[in-house]
Amino acid sequence: MIRGTMAMMDRALRVDSRSLRAHLIRFLFVGMIVWCLMLSEMQAWGTSAPGLDFLIPMLMITLLLITLGGVSLFATAITEEKEEMTLGLLRMAGVGPASLLLGKGVTRIVIALLILAAQFPFMLLAITLGGVLIHQVWAAYLAICAYLLMIGNAGLLMSVICRTSRLASFSMTMLLLVFFFGPWVLGAILSAAINAGTVAPEGVFAVNADALLLKVGEANIFQRITVILHSSFKESLISFQVVFHTIAALVLFVLAWLLFDVFNHEERAAAAERPLFGRRVGKTRWIAVPRTWRNSLLWKDFFYATGGWQMMVLKVVFYGAVIVAVTIFIEVTSPSPSFYPSAETVGNTAIWVSLVMLFVELCFYCSRIFRDEIRNRTLSSLVMLPISIPEIIYFKWAGCLLATVPALAYFFAGVVLSPVDFADFLQEVIDEPWFYYTIMQFLVGYHLCTLLSMYIKFGAVALAIALVFVGNMLMISTAEALTSGIGIGDESAVLGTMASLVLSVFLHLAVIFRMQVMATR
């Protein structure tokens, strides 16, 4: 019985051990560490703890990749079988929930742990640079392994509950936001209530709530890493964070096992998504999808990839609610709260919230602009239209960009409400080359995300963010090492901006070429 349950997991691990891609990924991780180790050794003369300076960014990158993996890799373990209509076939073959969870979900966690195991011997070299003890390295990696177990099983639970990979990734993102920022928000509200006299500072509620928030904060992996990397760290390897994350991982796996049959008792065809009111019949025909526009590709992507007018109305309401909620939070937690927030506060909030939402929207559209065509194998029919492949891509992108009107509207509304602050911001950054370099990184990231979505089914957004972040970190670290600690100036930003522009053009052409290749299949 145990052998049958472990059959899928055993096969997946055997396939991974023979996969060239898996070994290349481990090699790239190790190569990145060795490169950063060489850079730290080159800069060792200018710092008192070069080993610590090397260890901190490596641990932060590892945590970032694990978190992004929870949103993409782990959260799609079961949903990819649902979308490919193979989950029912596996169940008919006698594969039970335990076998599926072990073979599809736990296997990915084990593979991630193997990557950490490949990193660990090289991370021990930080001890030879100075400033770090082996006890700290062991404690840091034990904390990261526990965090990986929790993130992996949380993503597995979301994959079991949700029907689609998009919904599972979104649910996992919301769960992570609540886990990391929830205690901070509640703590700020509690402090504001105490300052306003609503809650007694020495009362039972305030004392117990403060103690609970402190305990929850101890479970935060970033706070734990900060404690571990302190020079006076002498705590036990088994901390509250390690115990909490390990127990949470077990509980999440058991929940995924128990709820598997509840949420996966039937299988539906993976039909293309449709707007909320797609049919022009009945009383809702006035808000249904209109007849095809003159540009049918733009019409199709606007209504069937982004949701059309109905989704734009929902975004207007949702973005407005977020802006109101953030504004209220800022006013409540400010030293001098006001019942009526100023126009500058509302404007600044609208600007930053709209920019964040615009970033999220563009990432989402980049990852799914060709998703329906690839899944339904209609690219070959699409390129038979009497227009060129670049025109097809541009028209599809135009349909997606049309859906960003709500975010842009809130942005300009924020500029109107807070023109002075926005003008001051522009004056500060307009002459800064690093500002243009940052904008180019977003452009590179969007192109990279679009290209990756044509190679991999899920996780293009997370992988693109990781590649851009890690690439920039390595580039900046290398430039600092080559300048012998003097620092990198505006010339480096100008060169980086030009290089990013060239890379964006290359990725742009790569997307067109990749579409030509896929259309021939």
pTM, 2 dp:
0.87
User: What pLDDT score does 321 carry?
Assistant: 95
pLDDT higher at 508 or 492? 508
Closest CA to 65 of 509, 459, 515: 459
The lowest-confidence range among 75-84, 109-118, 253-262, 330-339 is 330-339
pLDDT for the residue numbered 202: 80
Amino acid at 417: L
Asked whether residue 243 carries a pLDDT value surpassing 90, the answer given is yes
pLDDT confidence band for 408 (50 / 70 / 90): very high
pLDDT score at 257: 92
pLDDT, one tens digit per residue, over 308-360 is: 888 899 999 999 999 999 998 888 887 777 777 888 889 999 999 999 999 99
What pLDDT shows up at residue 1? 45
Q: Name the percent of the chain lying above pLDDT 70.
A: 92
Q: What is the pLDDT confidence band of residue 276, given thresholds at 50, 70 and 90?
A: low
pLDDT the model gives residue 58: 87
Tell me, what's the pLDDT at 357?
93
Polymer length in residues for the chain: 521
Q: Give me 307's structure tokens.
A: 């949701």
* Whole-angstrom distance, CA of residue 288 vs CA of residue 15: 48
pLDDT band at 253 (very low <50, low <70, confident <90, very high): very high
Is 291 exposed, middle or buried (CB count within 10 Å of its CB: 0-12, 13-18, 19+)? exposed
Within 10 Å of residue 160's Cβ, how many Cβ atoms? 28
Res. 485 pLDDT band, cuts 50 70 90? low
Question: How crowded is residue 37: how many other Cβ atoms within 10 Å of its Cβ?
Answer: 20
Burial (Cβ within 10 Å: 0-12, 13-18, ≥19) of residue 220: middle
Q: How many CB atoms lie within 10 A of CB 248?
A: 19
- pLDDT number for residue 474: 81
15 has a pLDDT exceeding 60: yes
For residue 388, give the DSSP letter.
-
What are the pLDDT digits (tens) for 289-309?
A: 777 888 888 888 888 888 888
Measure the CA–CA gap between 352 and 74, rounded to whole angstroms.
30
d(CA 404, CA 357): 9
The highest-confidence range among 118-122, 136-140, 308-312, by mean pLDDT, is 136-140
pLDDT of res. 350: 94
> Do 67 and 179 touch, CB atoms closer than 8 A?
no
C-alpha to C-alpha distance for 25 and 30, rounded to whole angstroms: 9
Residue 197 pLDDT: 74
- Determine how many CB atoms are found less than 10 A away from the CB of residue 460: 23
Q: What's the token pair of residue 248?
A: 């949470």
CA distance readout (Å), 66 to 89, 151, 155, 192, 381: 31, 8, 11, 34, 39
Is there a contact between 490 and 433 (Cβ–Cβ < 8 Å)?
A: yes
Report for 45-54, 158-167, 238-247, 485-494: range of highest mean pLDDT: 238-247
More confident residue, 250 or 29: 250
pLDDT of the residue at 301: 87
Average pLDDT score over residue span 209-220: 86
512: three-class secondary structure by DSSP: helix
